Amino acid sequence: MKMSNALIPTLRNNPAEADTISQQLLIRAGFIRKSAAGLYHYLPLGMRVLSKIENIVREEMNNFGCQELLMPIVQPAELWQETGRWNAYGAEMFKVTDRHERQFCLGPTHEEMITDLVRSEVNSYRQLPLRLYQIQNKYRDEKRPRFGLIRGREFIMKDMYSFDRDADGLDRAYWDMYQAYTNVFNRCGLYVRPIEADGGAIGDSQTHEFTALAEIGENTVVYCEKCGYAANIEIAPCPVPEVNKEKEAQLPLEKVYTPDSKTIEAVGNYLQVPAEKCIKTLFFQADDELICVLVRGDHEVNDVKVQRVHPCFALEMAEEEDVVKAVGCSFGSLGPVGLSKVKIYADLAVEQMVNLVCGANEEAYHYINVNPGRDFQVAGYYDLRMMQEGEPCPKCGQLTSSARGIEVGQVFKLGTKYSEAMGATFLDENGKTQIIHMGCYGIGVSRTMAAAVEQHNDENGIIWPKAIAPYHAVVVPVSVKDEQQCAIAEQIYEALQKRGVEVMLDDRNERPGVKFKDADLIGYPVRITVGKKAVEEQTVEYKLRAEADSVLVSVDDIVEKTVAYIFS
């Protein structure tokens, strides 16, 4: 390909809308352009990277016996009504109405669609196991699209669905995909950790998230250097607080006036008590029920753990006016004492507290010397808090570390959740009807492209891993006016193409500095510069994007050297 014909609109300075390095570089290097919030054009370079990632995914899926198909993006509402999910995602689901006023959604995922297909086409044990996947645009109307391709409203996903006769078959599919994903991300040059994650509120279906370590990652990973434990912090179990033997004597409950004290810090300062002697009283809207959760003042509530204890479709922090209506008091003076109409859950640490401080459910008043069990009852004590940095590993006790990461893949045991709801069954050897066991497995293909840039960049631009680079090499004639330089550059360009190297020729009439900056920004793995030395000494400059310095190589050797590096 020649730069003079290519649509690669590179930019010198940072686009205003870029809120992370990968979005900034992919826009500046001419890989993507934003159309609207969360909606992007993949320009030719971006398309080439996408295709490489998709082909690596295809190879690994096919290696594990998966068959590729393609389902409609436009999905009939009826299927989602069968599984009860049509209204479960609120505004996040893109809904459309056709000319006959029939309702559809733009597919955010395809469990309902694939199960509808399989229930029509599969009816015998002989047809199992079956693994079907597609690579297709998905649509989710994110409230806050951000980080470019990382959280878009339209994105490219590979979604695979496995169908087995029993739980053992599903387990085989699950761990096959675990291996396939490990291969995919290794081949794409991404540092990805599989971490234990939340199997969703319904049931405890097993799931792992493949998380690309990156500063801007929205997921927090808790991991243990010693035993290899790694989990999304949302599910990392917190240590049960040891029962403090020398419990101080319970003092009588007392209501105190606490002006201008609406936060744990303010109350702590005013009453001169530490945060761990206070409790946070939080209210959640669990579907249409208001519930209350108590955690110690120095801890954070973990709503994924709350949702496991109180299964519901939607769990949100309650609106203040709903709390005021229910409790008669606004945020800042809330507490469990005397709270009768609302179900109260408390974190395990609260159970051990003595003479604690909490809101009195009266503006500007708090209680001191509150004692769980004596002054308030709870529906139950559970692990409801977020693990903190440096807490002991749940598996081996070693102190854990944490890192941020981008979820680029997920493997997920569904069991019979969809097959039961939609009647996807098969006849076994004895003619007995059995329910199919399903798994679902997603890779964010467009998100993987962005994650690769988050992990591989420097002050000059992108450093593409070879396997997903848009081109393997760029040949840069320093002066397009020098016919001999151009002739040598053309000759190397063609020789490389003949050897299967994907090579760009920067034949633009631009200053060398501009060409070098673009080559570094775009991130070709190899840059071959053809200058005066090529004419006078038959040597060219060979520079790897991933290394700082370059070497001089004879014109005769440059092709072999490049081929050896690219295909090694």
Q: Which residues bind ligand 9G3 (CB under 6 A)?
A: 89, 92-93, 108-109, 140, 159, 410, 412, 440, 442
Minimum gap (Å) between residue 47 Cβ and ligand 9G3: 23
What's the CA gap between 315 and 458, in Å, rounded?
40
What's the CA gap between 54 and 45, in Å, rounded?
14
Closer Cβ to ligand 9G3, 109 or 206, answer by number = 109
Minimum gap (Å) between residue 167 Cβ and ligand 9G3: 19
Minimum gap (Å) between residue 106 Cβ and ligand 9G3: 9
**Most distant CA pair in the chain: distance in Å?**
95
| 3-class SS of residue 61 | helix
List the structure tokens of 566.
């690219």
Distances (CA, A) of 329 to 260, 291, 364, 531: 14, 15, 10, 77
Minimum gap (Å) between residue 459 Cβ and ligand 9G3: 36
Minimum gap (Å) between residue 410 Cβ and ligand 9G3: 5
Task: Report yes or no: 37 and 51 within 8 Å, Cβ to Cβ.
Answer: no
- Block residue for tokens 């997903």: 468
| CB-nearest residue to ligand 9G3 | 442
Closer Cβ to ligand 9G3, 440 or 528, answer by number = 440
Nearest 5°: phi and psi at 349? Answer: -65, -30
Minimum gap (Å) between residue 127 Cβ and ligand 9G3: 21
- Block residue for tokens 């959740």: 417
Minimum gap (Å) between residue 282 Cβ and ligand 9G3: 25
Residues ≥6 apart with Cβ < 8 Å to 431: none
CA torsion sign for 443, 204, 230, 389 is: positive
What's the CA gap between 115 and 79, in Å, rounded?
9
Bridge partners, residue 416, by sequence? none
Closer Cβ to ligand 9G3, 205 or 460, answer by number = 205
Minimum gap (Å) between residue 189 Cβ and ligand 9G3: 23
Closer Cβ to ligand 9G3, 140 or 305, answer by number = 140
* C-beta atoms surrounding 306 within 10 Å: 23
What's the CA gap between 443 and 210, in Å, rounded?
9
Please measure the distance between the N-terminal and C-terminal CA atoms of the chain and give it in whole angstroms.
23
Bridge partners, residue 113, by sequence? none
Minimum gap (Å) between residue 442 Cβ and ligand 9G3: 3
List the structure tokens of 436.
């199919």
Closer Cβ to ligand 9G3, 140 or 447, answer by number = 140
Q: At what angle do helices 445-455 and 44-63 cross, to 10 degrees?
A: 110
Closer Cβ to ligand 9G3, 159 or 454, answer by number = 159
Closer Cβ to ligand 9G3, 93 or 558, answer by number = 93
Closer Cβ to ligand 9G3, 440 or 473, answer by number = 440
Minimum gap (Å) between residue 199 Cβ and ligand 9G3: 11
Minimum gap (Å) between residue 95 Cβ and ligand 9G3: 10
Closer Cβ to ligand 9G3, 94 or 345, answer by number = 94
What's the CA gap between 565 and 568, in Å, rounded?
5
List the structure tokens of 344.
């109260």
Closer Cβ to ligand 9G3, 92 or 218, answer by number = 92
Bridge partners, residue 90, by sequence? none
Closer Cβ to ligand 9G3, 31 or 155, answer by number = 155
What's the CA gap between 150 and 18, in Å, rounded?
12
Closer Cβ to ligand 9G3, 301 or 440, answer by number = 440
Residues ≥6 apart with Cβ < 8 Å to 246: none
Residues ≥6 apart with Cβ < 8 Å to 462: 25, 26, 29, 453, 456, 521, 522, 523
Minimum gap (Å) between residue 395 Cβ and ligand 9G3: 26
List the structure tokens of 161.
């669905």
